[in-house]
Structure 1
Amino acid sequence: MMTFEELGLDARIVQATSELGYVNPTEIQEKAIPVLLSGTKDFIGLAQTGTGKTAAFGLPLLNIIDAEERYPQALIVCPTRELCVQIVKEMEGFKKHLRGVSVVAVYGGASIGLQIRDLKRGVQIVVATPGRLIDLIERKAINLEQIKYVVLDEADEMLNMGFKDDIEFILQNTPKRESTWLFSATMPPEIRKVSKKYMKEPFEVTVGKVNSGNKSIDHQYYITSAQHRYETLKRLIDFNPGIYGIIFTRTKADAQNITEKLTREGYDIDALHGDLTQAQRDKVMGEFRDKTLQLLIATDVAARGIDVQGITHVINYELPDDIEVYTHRSGRTGRAGNTGICMSIVHAREVFKLKSIERLIQTPVLKVEIPSGKDVCRKQFYGVMDKILETDISHGDYDTYMPMLMEKFADISKEEILKRMAAVEFDRFLKYYENAEDLNIRDGARQPRGREFGSDRGMDQGRGRAIERREPRGREFGGDRRESASSGNYARLFVNLGTKDGFYKASFLQFILDMSDLKKEVLGKIDMKDMNSWVEVDHGAAQQMIRSLDGKNYKGRRIRMNDANSR
């Protein structure tokens, strides 16, 4: 196998990688580093999350910058604060033996004054999120005139988050760059357009197949009714006693509600969503990395850039609207040579979406039965028994207490001691699951019609009556073919946001759902123009959406939303 030394890297950088435990480069590193060391070739690297992309661009950058010059020579742009911090942390390790090399992170949610001070001290490599970088450019606090190398990391994520215009602005403000390096897990048309516009005959490397799933991940799905979605989630958690995972929801309201319910029931869980302050977000992520929290529940937008090692499970509380998002979710597990499980809770009407996902990840998604109550109890029993048998008793002075223990339990049989221990450990599970119902949907079974948390039924808030959320005919996964508003089911809303604001349909849909805490079932057709859009929304949810968006700000623009028919 090839070594880092054979790739042509500086001996001091090779020494640092060796000390970090890296001997042999990953496939993307092996293919990218020799090309990038020239510093003059545009490059596109397509590889899944967790394949070592940071080292693939970080090591050659450290190799080719001029440590004697104290101005920004390389710019790394990434979608989130977490990824920003992670890249700098890795770069600090790589440059351990390089004197005079400085790497600075600039991102929102932190003091811009301190970041400006760090930049003024002199820096060769800047790692930035798009919004904060543009803020610094407009304040004239950073000069990109002499930037030679621009790296766009997680380019597809940045486009999903609506940063297309920001990326173009940044590229326009680096006129003297000698090369642009683009790294992405997927290659949607928008990225291809950016590469054709700003890159010249890029050298392209694909590791694995574009959009393909990680082969070390076991993909599973569980079919249940909408009203049993939460109970199914709880049962899957209980069936996996050692779970350390992320649960993905479509909206921040679902993330918060599920977190509150599971916390009340004694689970170590917290939520990550857009309403958290940066300090709250840092606290949650710190606890999750330290494994103080067993579970993290997050929306797709809030989870962007999270890189935590050792995640055993990813659970899709609902399938994402955009199937490419599935690969990002599942890629949080099964990293660095470990195996992982991605579980999806689906409604019977959503099963057809899994075929699209299978084609995308080129891996089968297997149907699995939701565990019965007895199965859960049995699994919990085995988990605790294994824990007892594997417990290390060599470091304690247990012999001191053995006579007392032997005397205390002298008249109790071994079987009774085990039963009492089981009662202490499993009383909650036994009571809860003793008469637990079957949550699986059997062939030919009718769907329950009650309204519970997570169901597909809503309330007409104006009249207080239940209204059925009908599945629109002809709707394609991620598309917008729905029943016409002329049927009377939808209100047509106008909003002064469009494609010029960096949106495309999937990201715009996710934005308005996150802002309004509504489910996608309330939406009809979306018609997007350059500066405006028209959205069909269930009559019962229209006012909630207007209240949530009208008057808010998006990138300095005041959002206007109202009933299009009343304008």
Structure 2
Amino acid sequence: MKFEELGLNEQLLKAITELGFENCMPIQEKAIPLILNNSRDLIALAQTGTGKTAAYGLPILQLGDFSKRHVQTLIVCPTRELCVQIKNDIVDFARFMKNVKVCAVYGGANIVNQMNEIRDGAQIVVATPGRLLDIIKRKKIDLSKIDKVVLDEADEMLSMGFIDDIKDILLETPDTKNTYLFSATMPSEILYVTKEYMNNPMEVTAGVKNSGADNVEHFYYVVQAKDKYLALKRIVDFYPDIYSIVFCRTKTETQEVSDNLIKDGYSADSLHGDLSQSQRDYVMKKFRNRNIQILVATDVAARGIDVDDITHVINYGLPMELDVYTHRSGRTARAGKSGICISITNLKETGKVKQIERQIKKKVTQANIPNSNDICEKQLFFLIDRILNININEEDILKFIPNIMEKLKDVPKEELIKKIVSVEFNRFLDYYRDADKISLDVQFSKDDNEHNRDRFFINLGNKDGMNLVKLCKYIAKIGDIDDRDIRNFEMKDSFSFFSTDSKYTASLLEAFRDIELNGRRIILEKSEKPSGGRGGSRSGGRSSGGGRSGGGRGGYDRDQRSGGGRSGGYGDRDRDQRGGGGYSGGGNRSDGNSSFRRDRDDKNSSGNKRYGSDNRKPDSGGSSRGGSPDRSSSGGSRPPRKRY
């Protein structure tokens, strides 16, 4: 539907046309006629970025009497950024109207200047709850003649703890006013406000209540907690033209991730509560102007950010509240565009994925972290596309062309193309040459398990210096199978269970027939699949000193947390790989001398490491012992990243 069909006056239509708008968004199509033609309250449910400001701002401007110099409309919103943005939008809409004064009232700015603007006749006041209550208590604003109140992003104000402030503000306004409540979700506290403080409200919904935006794709990646930063880097490298917000839970984590990205050559900055207002404004200006590609932010600091072209939202760990996920994902796919929401999770968080799917009424797909080939191919063709589509400045480059042509005249075309591409591409090729897999395959229940898979027992666990990634790579190396076919790991101190396609069963048992590690025989046996979908028990295969039940919950043991310190500092090598033997034969533990720590020391002194009876050794991943480190896993400085 076009704006001309909504009943707006000529001044507003002229402003809308000049601003470049033609067709209205669904929430605008539904809300504008209701506000214009009814004197009832309104509840409007719509995701962030769907055009809510115009949905209430345009009819408020049309219905206002701007010959009078008192506050007529009060718009309450959660953050300073949103407050300023709403004010600017309404000023833009009113560009062809006379005598319209809009005032923004928020913390962190001079309160005296704000009170003077109100005194000088502002008819529309846009305010954050805390600063508005301060001005009310000082008796510097008269709300007795208010005829309209807008509560924008009401659920955000609830989550920020402003619900009592909202109630206090509403009590200061006349009972005869109209209240328009806009929210992405409808939690119980907001529902209470609608029943207590609104009168027979109309309700409109753009999309499904409490659901995610239709044009957002949702993915999640499961990695060990210590590999989250490595996973983030790979995701960013896989999307060369990414323009993203990375959400973190704490201010400390936000600053740390941002610092690491900047150190590794990425175009990034941070936004969190420890920044001053001038610093926040500076960071947001850079982000809006696309001088940075990645904004690392806390939820509170990012509230009110309205940037239309964000391509990706990345959750650096799942949020505690489901509604927060909905709000985060709503930062992308705005104004009818598509977007991607990515969550980097660990094993403990995977149970939340099903809850999120029920909340947003969409599938959240598990994906593998991009591997080195994926990233290098994506970067290569991104470079080629840039070369093909770049604008040539004929006038400035013309004077250099003769000398360039002379210098390159003896270079064959094919070789020249290879050299041009290699200038940029070699950085990624070198960087990811020996990169390890860091994704973990996870399934939720026995109902999700694939058919034709067998479960195995192996007498290697945490106390052997193993983690999930290392054990997966070790089994794949010895068994000569693709590590992506190894799933459903459950690690204990001295043994582990895993599953793989049954077509590998015979060859896997044969491959491990006479394997030793640190002088200890490695036992791999087919186990019975437990009825509960977890654990397992040894049966069949080779026997070595009696059976041992696998039982228990399995999963991720508390003492399994390997590595430590800041992400990216050690790659996928544990900072402290403790020994202590493992499970051998009838349950006897070998002494600490069989640990990986001694083996690593021996490697350093002798330069030769025995790995199994046939001297094979696994891919050592992020920190090859005695060799050059893998930069992609070590978290070391990434090659300088050019800004485009």
TM-score interval, normalised by the smaller of the two chains: 0.7 to 0.9
Q: Which residue of 1 aligns with 2:55?
A: 56
Q: Which residue of 2 aligns with 1:452?
A: 564
Residue 217 of structure 1 and its aligned partner are, at CA, apart by: 1.1
Asked whether the equivalents of residues 103 and 124 of structure 1 are also in contact (C-alpha less than 8 Å), the reply is yes
Alpha-carbon separation, structure 2, partners of 1:433 and 1:178: 62
Residue 394 of structure 1 and its aligned partner are, at CA, apart by: 5.5
Residue 189 (str. 1) matches residue 301 (str. 2): no
Asked whether the equivalents of residues 145 and 176 of structure 1 are also in contact (C-alpha less than 8 Å), the reply is no
Q: Which residue of 1 aligns with 2:171?
A: 172
Residue 220 of structure 1 and its aligned partner are, at CA, apart by: 1.0
Q: Which residue of 2 aligns with 1:205?
A: 204
**What is the one-letter code of the residue matched to 2:159?**
N
**What is the one-letter code of the residue matched to 1:217?**
V
Q: Which residue of 1 aligns with 2:154?
A: 155
Compared CA separation, residues 159 and 40, structure 1 to 2 (3 A): same
Asked whether the equivalents of residues 146 and 176 of structure 1 are also in contact (C-alpha less than 8 Å), the reply is no
Alignment of 1:89-488 (within 5 A): 89-393=88-392, 395-442=394-441, 443-445=487-489, 446=491, 449-453=561-565
Does 1 or 2 have the higher relative contact order (CA < 8 Å, sep 6+)?
A: 1
Asked whether the equivalents of residues 384 and 421 of structure 2 are also in contact (C-alpha less than 8 Å), the reply is no
Asked whether the equivalents of residues 3 and 23 of structure 2 are also in contact (C-alpha less than 8 Å), the reply is yes
Alpha-carbon separation, structure 1, partners of 2:432 and 2:5: 59
Residue 39 of structure 1 and its aligned partner are, at CA, apart by: 6.2
Residue 302 of structure 1 and its aligned partner are, at CA, apart by: 0.8
DSSP-derived class of the 1:297 partner = strand
TM-score w.r.t. length of structure 2? 0.68
**What is the one-letter code of the residue matched to 1:269?**
A
Alpha-carbon separation, structure 2, partners of 1:454 and 1:180: 48
Residue 177 of structure 1 and its aligned partner are, at CA, apart by: 4.2
DSSP-derived class of the 2:368 partner = coil
Asked whether the equivalents of residues 39 and 178 of structure 1 are also in contact (C-alpha less than 8 Å), the reply is no
Give unpaired runs (5+ residues) of structure 2.
Answer: 442-486, 492-555, 568-575, 579-644
Asked whether the equivalents of residues 78 and 128 of structure 1 are also in contact (C-alpha less than 8 Å), the reply is yes
**What is the one-letter code of the residue matched to 2:564?**
E
Give the stretch that moved more between structures: 75-84 or 142-151.
142-151
DSSP-derived class of the 2:275 partner = coil
Alpha-carbon separation, structure 2, partners of 1:466 and 1:107: 52
Asked whether the equivalents of residues 146 and 177 of structure 1 are also in contact (C-alpha less than 8 Å), the reply is no
Compared CA separation, residues 6 and 423, structure 1 to 2 (3 A): closer
Alpha-carbon separation, structure 2, partners of 1:15 and 1:439: 55
Summarize deviations over 1:186-224 as a string: whole Å, max 9, x none. Answer: 000000101111111111111211111111111111111
**What is the one-letter code of the residue matched to 2:562?**
G
Alpha-carbon separation, structure 2, partners of 1:157 and 1:88: 19
Compared CA separation, residues 120 and 466, structure 1 to 2 (3 A): farther
Residue 38 of structure 1 and its aligned partner are, at CA, apart by: 4.5
Give unpaired runs (5+ residues) of structure 1.
Answer: 456-464, 468-567
Alpha-carbon separation, structure 2, partners of 1:368 and 1:92: 45
Alpha-carbon separation, structure 2, partners of 1:108 and 1:427: 49
**What is the one-letter code of the residue matched to 1:370?**
I
Residue 397 of structure 1 and its aligned partner are, at CA, apart by: 4.4
Percent identity between the two aligned chains? 52
**What is the one-letter code of the residue matched to 1:124?**
Q
Give the stretch that moved more between structures: 288-297 or 416-425.
416-425
**What is the one-letter code of the residue matched to 1:268?**
S
DSSP-derived class of the 2:301 partner = coil
Q: Which residue of 2 aligns with 1:28?
A: 27
**What is the one-letter code of the residue matched to 1:253?**
T
**What is the one-letter code of the residue matched to 2:351?**
F
Compared CA separation, residues 396 and 355, structure 1 to 2 (3 A): farther
Alpha-carbon separation, structure 2, partners of 1:227 and 1:341: 24
DSSP-derived class of the 1:127 partner = strand
Summarize deviations over 1:282-338 as a string: whole Å, max 9, x none. Answer: 000000000001110001111111001211111111110001111111111111121
**What is the one-letter code of the residue matched to 1:86?**
Q
**What is the one-letter code of the residue matched to 2:99?**
G
DSSP-derived class of the 2:245 partner = strand
Asked whether the equivalents of residues 156 and 185 of structure 1 are also in contact (C-alpha less than 8 Å), the reply is yes
Alpha-carbon separation, structure 1, partners of 2:324 and 2:370: 27
Alpha-carbon separation, structure 2, partners of 1:210 and 1:432: 45
Aligned length: 457
DSSP-derived class of the 2:246 partner = strand
DSSP-derived class of the 2:134 partner = helix
Residue 401 of structure 1 and its aligned partner are, at CA, apart by: 2.1
Q: Which residue of 2 aligns with 1:19?
A: 18
Give the stretch that moved more between structures: 418-427 or 155-164.
418-427
Summarize deviations over 1:146-177 as a string: whole Å, max 9, x none. Answer: 11111100000000000011000100111254
Alpha-carbon separation, structure 2, partners of 1:16 and 1:418: 50
Asked whether the equivalents of residues 213 and 330 of structure 2 are also in contact (C-alpha less than 8 Å), the reply is yes
Alpha-carbon separation, structure 2, partners of 1:362 and 1:275: 35
Alpha-carbon separation, structure 2, partners of 1:107 and 1:374: 49
Alpha-carbon separation, structure 2, partners of 1:283 and 1:112: 21
Q: Which has the larger radius of gyration?
A: 2
Residue 441 of structure 1 and its aligned partner are, at CA, apart by: 1.3
Asked whether the equivalents of residues 67 and 99 of structure 1 are also in contact (C-alpha less than 8 Å), the reply is yes
DSSP-derived class of the 1:440 partner = coil
Asked whether the equivalents of residues 39 and 64 of structure 1 are also in contact (C-alpha less than 8 Å), the reply is no
**What is the one-letter code of the residue matched to 2:157?**
M
DSSP-derived class of the 2:313 partner = strand
**What is the one-letter code of the residue matched to 2:289?**
D
**What is the one-letter code of the residue matched to 1:398?**
I
Alpha-carbon separation, structure 2, partners of 1:327 and 1:128: 24
Summarize deviations over 1:235-261 as a string: whole Å, max 9, x none. Answer: 000111000110001111111001111
DSSP-derived class of the 1:71 partner = coil
Asked whether the equivalents of residues 226 and 454 of structure 1 are also in contact (C-alpha less than 8 Å), the reply is no
DSSP-derived class of the 1:389 partner = helix
**What is the one-letter code of the residue matched to 1:232?**
A
DSSP-derived class of the 2:302 partner = coil
Give the stretch that moved more between structures: 260-269 or 31-40.
31-40
Alpha-carbon separation, structure 1, partners of 2:403 and 2:65: 71
TM-score w.r.t. length of structure 1? 0.78
Alpha-carbon separation, structure 2, partners of 1:138 and 1:396: 64
DSSP-derived class of the 2:300 partner = coil
Give the stretch that moved more between structures: 319-328 or 398-407.
398-407
**What is the one-letter code of the residue matched to 2:329?**
S
DSSP-derived class of the 1:146 partner = coil
DSSP-derived class of the 2:69 partner = coil
Asked whether the equivalents of residues 61 and 94 of structure 2 are also in contact (C-alpha less than 8 Å), the reply is yes
Q: Which residue of 1 aligns with 2:82?
A: 83
Q: Which residue of 2 aligns with 1:535?
A: none
Alpha-carbon separation, structure 2, partners of 1:50 and 1:222: 26
Alpha-carbon separation, structure 2, partners of 1:116 and 1:466: 62
Asked whether the equivalents of residues 32 and 56 of structure 1 are also in contact (C-alpha less than 8 Å), the reply is yes
